[in-house]
Amino acid sequence: MVRCEMVKKAREIRADKRRRQVLDAASACFREEGFHGASMSRIAARAEMSVGHIYRYFDSKETIIIALVQRDCAKFDRWLRRMISSAATIETVIANLRRGMPWLLNRDRAAIFLEMHAEAGRNSKIAAVLTEMDHNLRCLLKELIGRVRRTSQSGPEEVTDVTIEVVLLQLQGVAARVTLNPNLDRSVFLEGFERVALAVLAPEASAQCVLKEAGKAG
Could you say which of 51, 94, 101, 168 contacts DNA (CB under 7 A)?
51
Counting every residue written for the chain, the total comes to 218
- Among its own copies, DNA, none, what binds residue 77 when CB lies within 5 to 8 Å by partner kind? none
Contact set with its own copies (CB under 8 A): 31-37, 107, 110-111, 113-115, 117-122, 127, 130-131, 134, 149, 153-158, 161-162, 165-166, 168-177, 179-181, 184-185, 188-189, 191-192, 195-196, 199, 203-204, 206-208, 210-211, 213-214, 216-218
Interface with DNA includes 11 (CB under 7 A)?
A: yes
Residue environment code for 167-197, b if the CB has 16+ CB neighbours within 10 A, otherwise e:
beebbeebbebbeeeeeeeeeebbeebbebb
- Among its own copies, DNA, none, what binds residue 76 when CB lies within 5 to 8 Å by partner kind? none
- Among its own copies, DNA, none, what binds residue 155 when CB lies within 5 to 8 Å by partner kind? its own copies
Interface with DNA includes 1 (CB under 7 A)?
A: yes
Minimum CB separation of residue 153 from its own copies in Å reads: 7
The residues, ordered by sequence, that sit 6+ positions from 97 with a Cβ below 8 Å of its Cβ are 83, 190, 193, 194, 197
Could you say which of 13, 20, 39, 176 contacts DNA (CB under 7 A)?
39
Quick one: how far is CA 151 from the chain centroid?
Answer: 27
Q: Are 106 and 31 in contact (CB under 8 A)?
A: no
In the DSSP assignment, the letter for residue 123 is -
203 vs 185: CA distance, rounded Å: 27
